[in-house]
């Protein structure tokens, strides 16, 4: 049973444009040769043909201490073919976003440590819930007006929820994306399965694997890299 890598971060003001350029490999990130698929959905009318307009509007009009976006990173099985991964990336994006505006990008870099393909999908979601009322950008991100919704902004999905409720929702999201991955594995004839639970919840007594980003990997010595790979493969 394989473990799920599921990361989430909240986007602060001033980070949306660069983050979207990063995942879609635009601008200074265009030279990276690992973008496989990108797409978007549920956009408001003003951003229907250009999703960047939504993220820029969020930076401009969202309250200063509010999240401009939520970004998920989900690892995908490298046993799936490219077309199968593309289909799964769309499914995961829609699963995480629901009816909210989203943009995603499927990356397939080669692992710096093991030399294996490392497919994963980035899903960026706007926390504002569409309600059928078309609003201009400057109105969409205002405070929600429950009595006269057309006079205020779209309601925030996370608004008013307790930390316990937000954590429960996050666990549900982890479970949902795992179910979609396992459905894809089953559909395409693979026997491996992914488990969304923590090692402790699964009764496994060992420390969780530490995520190593590209910057950390570059700083590792040859010996440290070899030791890490052996440990990951369960070798002595």
Predicted local distance difference test score (pLDDT) of residue 207: 57
CATH topology of domain 2-205: BirA Bifunctional Protein; domain 2 (3.30.930)
* Contact status, residue 140 vs residue 154, Cβ threshold 8 Å: yes
* The CA-based dihedral angle spanning residues 73, 77, 81, 84, taken in that order and rounded to the nearest 10 degrees: -60
Query: CA 114 to CA 209: how far, in whole Å?
Result: 15
**53-88 b/e with 16+ CB inside 10 Å = b?**
ebbbbbbebbeeebbbbbbbbbbbbeebeeebbbbb
pLDDT category, 161, cuts 50, 70, 90? confident
Query: CA 119 to CA 104: how far, in whole Å?
Result: 13
How do residues 165-192 score in pLDDT, each as one tens digit?
A: 999 999 999 999 999 999 999 999 999 9
163-187 and 82-97 helices, crossing angle to 10°: 150
Among residues 64, 114, 105, 58, the alpha carbon closest in space to that of 85 is found at 105
pLDDT category, 133, cuts 50, 70, 90? very high
Could you tell me which residues are beta bridge partners of residue 41? Answer: 102
* Contact status, residue 88 vs residue 20, Cβ threshold 8 Å: no
Q: In this structure, what are the phi and psi dihedrals at residue 179, rounded to the nearest 5 degrees?
A: -60, -35
How do residues 2-43 score in pLDDT, each as one tens digit?
A: 778 899 999 888 899 999 999 999 999 999 989 999 999 999
How do residues 41-95 score in pLDDT, each as one tens digit?
A: 999 999 999 999 999 999 999 988 888 999 999 999 999 999 999 999 999 999 9
Mean pLDDT along residues 119-125: 97
Q: Which helix (H) or strand (E) holds 195?
A: strand 194-195
**Distance between the two ends of the chain, CA-based, in angstroms?**
20
Averaged pLDDT of the chain: 86
Residue 198 has pLDDT above 70, yes or no: no
* Residue boundaries of the structural domains of the chain: 2-205, 210-236
Residues belonging to the active site: 22
Predicted local distance difference test score (pLDDT) of residue 235: 44
């Amino acid at each position: 049973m394989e473990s799920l890598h599921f990361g989430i971060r909240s986007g602060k003001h001033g980070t949306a444009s660069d983050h979207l350029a990063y995942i879609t490999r635009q601008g200074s990130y265009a030279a990276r040769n690992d973008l496989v698929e990108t797409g978007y959905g549920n956009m408001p009318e003003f951003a229907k043909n250009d999703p960047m307009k939504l993220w820029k509007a969020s930076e401009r009009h969202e309250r200063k201490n509010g999240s401009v976006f939520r970004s998920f990173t989900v690892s995908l099985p490298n046993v799936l073919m490219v077309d199968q991964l593309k289909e799964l990336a769309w499914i995961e994006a829609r699963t995480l976003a629901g009816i909210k505006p989203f943009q995603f990008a499927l990356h397939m870099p080669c692992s710096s440590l093991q030399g294996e393909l490392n497919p994963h999908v980035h899903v960026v979601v706007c926390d504002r819930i569409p309600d059928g009322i078309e609003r201009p950008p400057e109105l969409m991100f205002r405070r929600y007006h429950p009595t006269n919704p057309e006079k205020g902004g779209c309601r925030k999905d996370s608004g008013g929820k307790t930390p316990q409720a937000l954590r429960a929702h996050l666990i549900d999201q982890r479970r949902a994306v795992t179910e979609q991955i396992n459905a894809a594995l089953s559909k395409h004839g693979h026997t491996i399965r992914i488990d969304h639970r923590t090692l402790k919840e699964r009764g496994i007594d060992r420390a969780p694997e530490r995520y190593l980003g590209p910057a950390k990997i570059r700083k590792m010595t040859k010996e440290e890299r070899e030791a890490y790979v052996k440990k990951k493969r369960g070798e002595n």
